[in-house]
A and B are shown apart, each in its own frame.
Chain A
Amino acid sequence: EMVMTQSPATLSVSPGEGATLSCRTSQSVGTNLAWYQQKPGQAPRLLIYSASSRATGTPARFSGSGSGTEFTLTISSLQSEDFAVYYCQHYNNWPPWMFGQGTKVEMK
């Protein structure tokens, strides 16, 4: 079964700094990978799909890259509203589709 590994578990960043989040899959998923942002008490929000395509409304400071088994979400300059938990999710050869365990981006 597919294993999804996100790192780090927690990332401490100052506002204005950049952040790089990693997602690794145990089997190749091509570019069938999405990233979601979740704030406390809210549903997840789609940020990136197809590994690198920004969803409607996603600010340009968010970018996704990677293919196969290694993926990255980069936030170029963190704003206050970006402190949240970020999940990657694959949608290759379903079912099941799986989410990673998340990376919490917190204010330093």
Chain B
Amino acid sequence: QVQLVQSGNEVKKPGASVKVSCKTSGYTFYDYGIDWVRQAPGQGPEWMGWIGPYNGNTKYAQKLQGRVTVTADTSTNTAYMELRSLTSDDTAMYYCVRERRAYGAGVFSYWGQGTLITVSS
């Protein structure tokens, strides 16, 4: 079965960086895009970025452009999301998500368990 297992919760100070991993299994990693979605407490989800492991292309939300990088390691079937220059507004649950359709984009079928990032001085 498809599984996405994320790295553990983290507490960071303002100005720091964080890198979250997403280890996948149960499908051909190369064929499906991976998105990152975050959700601040009491808020709706917010799409952050996407990577296509099959071509290495990435797309990012404009508000995060320059602060976020999404990568994919096809040798270990693992995706990563790095967010830099953290502020308290970045405190949220972060999810990696697999696309529903191979080579498709935009429909989030499988979700990781979430990684809580807390930014506090």
Contact = CB atoms under 8 A, between A and B. Distances in A.
B45 A99 contact: yes
Interface string B94-115: 0100001000011111011110
B75 interface: no
Nearest to B107: A49
Contact of B108 (A32, A46, A94, A100): A46
B55 interface: no
Looking at B46, B105, B111, B113, the one whose CB has the most chain A CB atoms below 10 A away is: B111
A32 B106 contact: yes
Contacts of B30: none
Interface in A67-108: 87, 89, 91-92, 94-102
A8 interface: no
Interface of B: 43-47, 49-50, 59-62, 95, 100, 105-109, 111-114
Interface of A: 32, 34, 36, 43-46, 49, 55, 87, 89, 91-92, 94-102
Contacts of B95: 43
Nearest to B95: A43
Given A43-B95, A94-B105, A99 B100 contact: no
A107 to B, nearest CB: 20
A46 B107 contact: yes
Contacts of A89: 45, 108
A44 B106 contact: no
5 contacts: A43-B111, A43-B114, A55-B100, A89-B108, A98-B47
